[in-house]
C-alpha cells in the first residue's frame, strides 16, 4: 500500500473525529469498514496522526473481537453460536462448514474465497439456527442445505470473474 | 362488518381435523344460505394450544375450544345468527401480553418521526420540560421502575444519585450492547421504535442535569444503528435535540458510539472505559458511575428497555405504572422466548406472570413430538428452572430465589434432547471467551471449570470433579472483580443443583441421559427391527458400518465418530441411541 | 422540518391520529429482512399497482413473532385486522388479490395472535 494514499485517507477519517474525546474505537471502526481489517501500515500512520502510541492502538484492537489484524476472505460466513442457535444445531452447522471448507473458525480458505467466523448472536433467535454470508442472513438452516448455499456463492464469483 | 370464523385444530399430535370441521361448517352455512354472510377461514395459529378444535367468531370475539362436529350447528345458531356466545364451549381468554415497551414495534414506521408523534410520542417530554427535574425523579421513584438490564436497580434512585452528585458536566448513557446470546429485545426496540429510546434519554438527561448523552450500540446490529442515526437526525431537524428543546431552555445532544464485540462491556464501568476509547476493563466500585463515571464525571447508565419505558410512565403517571406487576417488581418485562419452543419470539408480559403462561400459553409449548424440560433465564449469568417449577411468577426476587436471575430477558426453552452439563459447558465457554482477564478468579477459575466440564461431558469425569466445580464456583462468586466473573458460575451451580443426577450419570455410568454428549453416546443396530435397506451403510461418513443387504449391518464402535447420521436416516427406527 | 414547539407537536399528533386508511404493514426488522421481507414488500407493491388497489403498504418494525417471519399485517375496511405469517411470493399475491381486492381472507396463513 502506498503510504501517501493511506495517510490521506486516514487523515480524512481522523479529522471527522478530531474534536471528539475517546475517538480511537470509532476511528478503528471506520478503518475496518474501509479496508476489511486494520493493516499494520495503517496503524502506524494513525499513531502519528492521532499522536497515540502504537501500543495503545494494538491494545484496543486485540481486546475487541470485532477488529481484525489479517485480511478477511472475499466472503465472510458467520455461524451464529448464540444459545438458541446452539441448541437448535448451530454446532453441527459449524462442523459441516469446517468439513466442507477445510478451515477452522477465524481462518480463510486457501483460495481466499471464504472466511469462516463464529459470532455470538445475530439477534435473529426466532429463526435459529442462523448463518450469515456477506450481509445476507439465512434462517432455519439444515445441515444438508449448507452445500447448496455455499455453491450459490462460488457460482456467483465465478460468473463475475467470467464477465 | 360481516361475520368471520377462524378455525384451527390445536390438538398436539394426531390427525389435524381443521379441514374436516371447516368443510362441515361450510356445508351447514350453505344449507342455510349463509355462505355469503359468513367468512370461514383456516388459520395457522389461534392463540390457544392443546385444546382440541378451536374456533373464533368475529367481530364478537367469542373463542371456543374442544369443538366437536355435533357442536357446529349450535354455534351457527347461537353465535352466527343470534350473536350470542355458546357458553358450554367458551374459553376465557385473558390477554396475557401487555405491551408498553413494544407498544410501537410493528405498529409504526420506525423511520418516520410523524408516526411516533401520532402515537403520543414526545408528549411526555413536552410535559416534563415544564416541571422541575426533582419532580420528574419523584414520579420515576413512584413508578417503581427497576433497571431492565438485569440487576434491577431502581431507575428513579439512580437518577437521583446522579442528579445529587456535584459536577459541572454530567452524562447519560444508553446501554445498547446487548450481549446475552439469545436475547434481542433491545435490538428489536432500537429497530422498531428508536424514538421512544431517544425520548426516554432526553427526559433522563433533563432529570439528572446532563446536557450530553451517548448511545453505546453493538456493532453487530447495523440496522439498529442506522435507524437510531436517522431518528437522531430527525430530532435535530425538528428541534427535539440540540439547543432550546421544544422552545424551553433545556439543551441536550446525543452521540452514537459502537461496541466492538466484548460481552464485559455490558458492565457499567467497562462500558465507560470503552466509550473513552480504551480496553473494556471493569474497575472496582465504589466509586460508582453516578459519582465518577465517563471522563470522571457523574454518569447515569440505563438500558434500552428501561429508557423505552420512560415516556409512557411520565405520560400516564408513575402511579399508573406502579399498578402493574407485583409488590416489588413493577410494570412489564420483555422476554425473548427462544430455543425449543413452538412460537419463538418477543413476549411482553406484566411482572408476576407465571413461566407456565409464557412458555405454554404464549409460546405454545414444545416443538411437535417433544416435551419441555426446563428454561434458562439470564443468559451466561443466569440459571435453569426445571419445568416442575413453572408455576413460579417472574419477577426479580422470585427468579433469584430459584437460583437464576431476571437478566436482560433471554428465556431459552430446552427439551428432553438437551443435556444440562452440556448447557453449563456452553455458557461457561462463553464466559471464558469473554473474560477480560483482569482479575485472577475469573480468568483462572473459568478456565479450570471449563476443563472439568469438558472432562465430565467426555466421560472422563470423577465425582471429585463435581465437588471441585462447586468449590471453584463459590470462589469465583466471592472474589471476582465484576459482574461477569461473579455470575459466570451460575449456570454451573444451578444445573448442578437441579440436575445432579444427570451429572452423576456422566461421571459414574459414563452415560449422557439426553444423548447429547457425543462421546458418551452409543449407536447400535437392532437386528429385529432392521429391514436391511442399507441406508445407514450409505450415510456413514467414516465407513464404520459394514455388512450387506442379505446379512444385515453392524456398527464398528471403534470406528464410529457418533455423528448420528445413521440414526437420522433410519426409517424403521432400527438404530438405538443410548 | 421546522423546529417544533409544544403547540406544533400537539398539532402533528392530531393530524397523524386522524387517518383511517387501508394498510398492509410488512415487518422490516433484522429477523423479518432475514426471512425475506424485502421480496414480500416488492411483490405487494407490484401487485397493488397491477390491481390499482386502495391500500397503503408500509414498512414497520418487528411485532415479535419471529418464528413466523416474514410477517404481514393487513387491515381492510369492514374486515378483521389480521397477521399473515411465513409469507412468500405466492401468499403475497393472494393477499392482494383475495384479501385486499376480493375482501376474502386467505386460508392457512393467518396467525391469530393477540399482540396489540
- Does B417 have pLDDT greater than 80? yes
Taking CA atoms, B1 is separated from A141, B25, B28, B160, C77, in Å, by 42, 20, 21, 52, 9
Average pLDDT in the B522-528 region? 90
Count of H-run helices and E-run strands, chain B: 22, 17
Q: Encode pLDDT of C7-26 as tens digits.
A: 889 998 988 876 678 999 99
Average pLDDT, integer, range B412-432: 94
Q: What does the alpha-carbon distance between residue B76 and residue B62 come to, in Å, rounded to a whole number?
A: 12
In a domain, A12, yes or no: yes
The residue ranking higher by pLDDT, C78 or B189, is: B189
pLDDT bin (cut points 50, 70, 90) of residue A160 is low
Confidence band for A158, pLDDT divided at 50, 70 and 90: low
- The range of the structural domain enclosing residue A155 comes to 75-162
Same domain, A52 and A118: no
Give the mean pLDDT of B243-270. 93
Domain CATH number, residue A141: 3.40.30.10
- Asked whether residue A30 carries a pLDDT value surpassing 90, the answer given is yes
Do A104 and A140 fall within a single domain? yes
Residue of chain B nearest A32, judged by CA positions: B260
* Three cell numbers, residue B274: 470503552
Q: What's the pLDDT tens digit per position in B264-288?
A: 998 999 999 999 999 999 999 899 9
* pLDDT higher than 80, residue A85: yes
The shortest CB-CB distance from A84 to any of B262, B275, B339 is to B339
Q: Is A122 on the interface with C (CB under 8 A)?
A: yes
Tell me the backbone φ, ψ of residue B130, rounded to 5 degrees. Answer: -85, -10
Nearest chain B residue to A87 by CA: give it: B339
Higher pLDDT: B11 or A29? It is: A29
Q: Is residue A69 part of a domain?
A: no
Domain B420-508 class? mainly alpha
Q: What's A116-161 look like in SS3?
A: EEEECCCCCHHHCCCEEECCEEECCCCHHHHHHHHHHHHHHHHHHH
Fold of B522-577: Alpha-Beta Plaits (3.30.70)
Q: Is residue A110 one of the residues assigned to a domain?
A: yes
Chain A residue nearest residue B341, CA to CA: A126
Rounded CA gap, B440 and B476, in Å?
9
What are the CA-CA distances from residue B181 to residues A87, B412, C55 (Å)? 12, 10, 39
Examine the domain organization and report whether A95 and A158 are in the same domain.
yes
Same-domain status, A135 and A84: yes
Interface contact A25-B187, CB threshold 8 A: no
Average pLDDT estimate for B112-138: 95
Domains of chain C in start order, with CATH, are: 19-111 (3.40.30.10)
**For residues C103 and B571, what is the distance between their CA atoms, to the nearest angstrom?**
45
Q: Are residues A49 and A114 in the same domain?
A: no
Read off the pLDDT of residues B340-365 as tens digits, 9 standing for 90 and up: 999 889 999 999 999 999 999 899 89
**Cα C69 to Cα C63: distance, rounded to the nearest angstrom:** 10
Kindly determine whether residue C34 and residue A127, on different chains, have CB atoms separated by under 8 Å. Answer: yes
- Whether residues A149 and A107 share a domain: the answer is yes
Cα separation, A36 vs B280, whole angstroms: 22
Identify residues of B whose CB sits under 8 angstroms from chain A CBs.
178-184, 187-188, 219-221, 255, 257-263, 274-280, 295, 336, 338-340, 344-345, 376, 379, 410, 412, 414, 418, 426-427, 430, 436
Q: What pLDDT is attached to residue B368?
A: 86
Q: Is A121 on the interface with C (CB under 8 A)?
A: no
What number is the ipTM of this complex? 0.91
Spell out which residues of chain B touch residue A119, defining contact as CB-CB under 8 Å. Answer: 220
The answer to whether B103 and B116 have CB atoms below 8 angstroms apart is no
SS (H, E, C) B14-38: CCCCHHHHHHHHHHHHHHCCCCCCE
| Contacts with B436 from chain A: Cβ below 8 Å | 63
- All CATH 3.40.30.10 domain ranges of chain B, comma separated, are 3-89
Q: Does C114 score more than 80 pLDDT?
A: no
Q: Specify the pLDDT at position C58.
A: 93
* Sheet order of strands, A136-138 included: A114-119, A75-80, A131-133, A136-138
Nearest CA to B338 out of B309, B367, B361, B368 is that of B367
Closest of B274, B149, B188 to residue A65, by C-alpha = B274
A89 touches chain C (CB under 8 A): no
Cβ neighbours of C33 in A, within 8 Å: 137
Task: Give the neighbours of chain C: at least 3 Cβ pairs within 8 Å.
Answer: A, B
Distances (CA, A) of B208 to A85, B125, B172, B175, B292: 40, 14, 8, 17, 14
Domain identity same for A86 and A40: no
Residue B27 CA to residue B33 CA, distance in Å, equals 10
Cell of B532: 436391511
Mean pLDDT value across chain A: 88
A43 and A100 in a single domain? The answer is no
8 Å CB contact of B280 and A24: no
Span B113-321: which CATH code? 3.40.50.11540
Q: Among C17, A28, C30, which Cα is nearest to B116's?
A: C17
Question: How big is the A-B interface in CB pairs under 8 Å?
Answer: 109
The owner of cell 439456527 is A129
Take residue C89 and report the three cell numbers written for it: 411470493
Average pLDDT on C20-38 reads 90
Q: What is the number of structural domains in chain A?
A: 2
Q: CATH 1.20.1440.230 region(s) of chain B?
A: 420-508
Bridge partner list, B346: B336
Q: Decide if pLDDT at A157 tops 80.
A: no
Judged against a pLDDT cut of 90, whether residue B487 lies above it is answered with yes
Residue among B66, B344, B135 nearest A123 (CA):
B344
Q: In the complex, which subunits touch B with 3 or more CB pairs below 8 angstroms?
A: A, C
Task: Say if residue B338's pLDDT is above 70.
Answer: yes
Closest CA to B141 of B153, B123, B129: B153
- B244 Rama sector, left if φ>0, alpha if ψ -120 to 50, beta otherwise: left
Q: pLDDT at residue B59 above 90?
A: no
What is the dotted CATH code of the domain comprising B332-415?
3.10.20.600
| CA pseudo-torsion sign B171, C2, B188, B331 | positive
Burial of B410 (0-12, 13-18, 19+ CB in 10 A): buried
Query: Do residue A89 and residue A141 come from a single domain?
Result: yes
Task: Provide mean pLDDT across the span A73-99.
Answer: 90
User: Are A52 and A96 contained in the same domain?
Assistant: no
Residue A158 and residue A110 share a domain: yes
- pLDDT of A161 over the 90 cut: no
Q: Is residue A59 domain-shared with residue A112, that is, in the same domain?
A: no
Q: Is residue A70 a part of any domain in this protein? A: no
List every span in chain B annotated with CATH 3.30.70.20. Answer: 522-577
Terminal alpha carbon distance of chain B: 58
* B546/B130 Cα distance (integer angstroms): 82
CATH architecture of B3-89: 3-Layer(aba) Sandwich (3.40)
Choose among B260, B275, B295: nearest Cβ to A64.
Answer: B260
Q: What is the DSSP letter of B197?
A: H
How many angstroms separate the CA of residue A163 from the nearest CA in chain B?
31
Of C3, C25, C113, the CB nearest to B238: C3
Task: DSSP letter for B386, please.
Answer: E
Cβ of B410 within 8 Å of Cβ of A122? The answer is no
* CA–CA separation, B4 and C86 (whole Å): 22
Q: Helix, strand, coil shares of chain C as percentages rounded to 5?
A: 40, 15, 40
- pLDDT for B424: 95
Provide the pLDDT confidence category of residue B400 given band limits of 50, 70 and 90.
very high
DSSP per residue, A19-58: TSTT-HHHHHHHHHHHHSS--HHHHHHHHHHHT--HHHHH
Please, what is the angle between helix B133-143 and helix B304-316, to 10°?
100
Three-point CA angle C24, C27, C31, nearest 5°: 160
> Considering the entire predicted model, what is its pTM?
0.92
The reported pLDDT for the residue numbered A135 is 82
Amino acid at each position: 500500500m502506498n503510504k501517501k494514499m493511506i495517510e490521506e485517507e486516514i487523515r480524512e477519517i481522523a479529522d471527522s473525529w478530531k474534536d471528539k474525546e475517546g475517538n480511537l474505537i470509532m476511528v478503528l471502526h471506520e478503518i475496518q469498514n474501509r479496508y476489511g481489517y486494520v493493516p499494520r501500515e495503517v496503524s502506524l500512520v494513525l499513531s502519528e496522526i492521532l499522536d497515540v502510541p502504537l501500543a495503545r492502538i494494538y491494545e484496543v484492537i486485540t481486546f475487541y473481537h470485532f477488529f481484525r489484524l489479517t485480511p478477511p476472505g472475499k466472503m465472510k460466513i458467520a455461524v451464529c453460536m448464540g444459545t438458541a442457535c446452539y441448541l437448535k444445531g448451530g454446532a453441527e452447522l459449524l462442523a459441516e462448514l469446517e468439513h466442507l471448507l477445510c478451515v477452522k473458525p477465524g481462518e480463510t480458505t486457501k483460495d481466499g474465497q471464504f472466511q469462516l467466523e463464529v459470532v455470538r448472536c445475530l439477534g435473529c433467535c426466532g429463526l435459529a439456527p442462523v448463518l450469515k454470508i456477506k450481509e445476507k442472513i439465512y434462517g432455519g438452516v439444515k445441515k444438508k442445505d449448507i452445500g447448496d448455499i455455499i455453491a450459490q456463492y462460488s457460482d456467483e464469483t465465478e460468473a463475475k470473474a467470467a464477465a | 362488518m360481516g361475520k368471520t370464523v377462524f378455525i384451527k385444530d390445536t390438538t398436539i399430535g394426531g390427525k389435524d381435523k381443521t379441514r374436516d370441521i371447516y368443510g362441515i361448517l361450510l356445508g351447514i352455512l350453505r344449507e342455510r344460505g349463509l355462505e355469503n354472510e359468513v367468512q370461514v377461514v383456516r388459520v395457522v395459529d389461534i392463540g390457544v394450544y392443546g385444546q382440541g378444535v378451536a374456533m373464533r367468531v368475529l367481530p364478537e370475539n367469542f373463542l371456543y375450544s374442544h369443538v366437536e362436529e355435533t357442536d357446529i350447528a349450535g354455534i351457527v345458531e347461537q353465535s352466527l345468527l343470534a350473536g350470542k356466545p355458546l357458553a358450554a364451549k367458551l374459553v376465557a381468554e385473558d390477554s396475557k401480553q401487555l405491551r408498553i415497551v413494544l407498544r410501537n414495534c410493528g405498529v409504526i414506521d420506525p423511520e418516520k418521526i410523524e408516526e411516533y408523534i401520532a402515537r403520543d410520542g414526545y408528549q411526555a417530554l413536552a410535559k416534563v420540560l415544564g416541571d422541575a427535574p426533582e419532580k420528574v425523579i419523584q414520579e420515576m421513584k413512584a413508578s417503581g421502575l427497576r433497571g431492565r438490564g438485569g440487576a434491577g436497580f431502581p431507575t428513579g434512585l439512580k437518577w437521583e444519585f446522579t442528579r445529587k452528585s456535584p459536577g459541572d458536566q454530567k452524562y447519560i448513557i444508553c446501554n445498547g450492547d446487548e450481549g446475552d446470546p439469545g436475547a434481542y429485545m433491545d435490538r428489536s426496540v432500537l429497530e422498531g421504535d428508536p424514538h421512544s429510546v431517544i425520548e426516554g434519554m432526553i427526559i433522563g438527561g433533563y432529570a439528572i442535569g446532563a446536557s450530553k448523552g451517548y448511545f453505546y450500540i453493538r456493532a453487530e446490529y447495523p440496522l439498529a444503528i442506522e435507524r437510531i442515526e436517522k431518528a437522531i437526525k430527525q430530532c435535530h431537524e425538528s428541534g427535539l435535540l440540540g439547543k432550546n428543546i421544544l422552545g424551553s431552555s433545556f439543551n441536550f445532544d446525543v452521540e452514537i458510539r459502537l461496541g466492538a464485540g466484548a460481552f464485559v462491556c455490558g458492565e457499567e464501568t467497562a462500558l465507560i472505559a470503552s466509550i473513552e476509547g480504551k480496553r473494556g476493563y471493569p474497575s472496582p466500585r465504589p466509586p460508582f458511575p453516578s459519582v465518577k463515571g465517563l471522563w470522571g464525571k457523574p454518569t447515569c447508565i440505563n438500558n434500552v428497555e428501561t429508557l423505552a419505558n420512560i415516556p409512557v410512565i411520565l405520560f400516564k403517571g408513575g402511579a399508573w405504572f406502579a399498578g402493574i406487576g407485583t409488590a416489588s417488581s413493577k410494570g412489564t418485562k420483555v422476554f425473548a422466548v427462544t430455543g425449543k419452543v413452538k412460537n419463538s419470539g418477543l413476549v411482553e408480559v406484566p411482572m408476576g406472570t407465571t413461566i407456565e403462561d409464557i412458555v405454554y400459553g404464549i409460546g405454545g409449548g414444545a416443538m411437535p413430538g417433544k416435551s419441555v424440560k426446563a428454561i434458562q433465564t439470564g443468559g451466561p449469568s443466569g440459571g435453569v428452572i426445571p419445568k416442575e417449577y413453572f408455576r413460579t411468577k417472574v419477577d426479580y426476587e422470585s427468579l433469584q430465589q430459584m437460583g437464576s436471575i431476571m437478566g436482560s430477558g433471554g428465556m431459552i426453552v430446552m427439551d428432553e434432547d438437551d443435556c444440562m452439563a452440556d448447557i453449563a459447558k456452553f455458557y461457561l465457554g462463553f464466559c471464558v471467551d469473554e473474560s477480560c482477564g483482569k482479575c485472577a478468579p475469573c480468568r483462572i477459575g473459568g478456565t479450570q471449570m471449563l476443563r472439568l466440564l469438558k472432562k465430565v461431558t467426555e466421560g472422563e469425569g470423577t465425582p471429585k470433579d463435581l465437588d471441585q466445580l462447586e468449590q471453584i464456583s463459590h470462589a469465583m462468586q466471592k472474589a471476582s472483580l465484576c459482574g461477569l466473573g461473579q455470575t459466570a458460575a451460575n449456570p454451573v451451580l444451578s444445573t448442578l443443583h437441579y440436575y445432579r443426577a444427570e451429572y452423576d450419570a456422566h461421571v459414574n455410568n459414563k452415560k449422557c441421559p439426553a444423548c447429547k454428549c457425543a462421546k458418551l453416546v452409543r449407536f447400535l443396530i437392532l437386528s429385529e427391527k432392521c429391514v436391511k435397506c442399507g441406508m445407514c451403510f450409505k450415510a456413514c461418513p467414516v465407513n464404520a458400518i459394514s455388512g450387506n443387504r442379505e446379512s444385515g449391518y453392524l456398527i464398528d464402535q471403534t470406528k464410529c465418530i457418533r455423528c448420528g447420521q445413521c440414526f437420522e436416516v433410519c426409517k424403521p427406527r432400527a438404530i438405538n441411541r443410548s | 422540518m421546522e423546529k417544533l414547539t409544544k403547540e406544533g407537536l400537539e398539532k402533528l399528533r392530531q393530524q397523524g391520529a386522524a387517518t383511517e386508511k387501508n394498510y398492509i404493514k410488512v415487518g422490516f426488522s433484522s429477523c423479518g429482512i432475514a426471512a425475506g421481507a424485502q421480496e414480500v414488500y416488492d411483490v405487494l407493491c407490484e401487485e397493488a399497482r397491477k390491481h390499482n388497489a386502495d391500500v397503503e403498504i408500509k414498512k414497520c418494525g418487528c411485532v415479535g413473532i419471529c418464528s413466523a417471519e416474514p410477517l404481514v399485517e393487513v387491515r381492510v375496511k369492514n374486515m378483521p385486522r389480521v397477521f399473515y405469517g411465513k409469507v412468500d411470493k405466492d401468499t403475497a399475491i393472494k393477499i392482494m388479490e383475495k384479501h385486499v381486492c376480493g375482501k376474502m381472507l386467505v386460508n392457512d396463513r393467518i396467525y391469530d395472535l393477540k399482540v396489540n
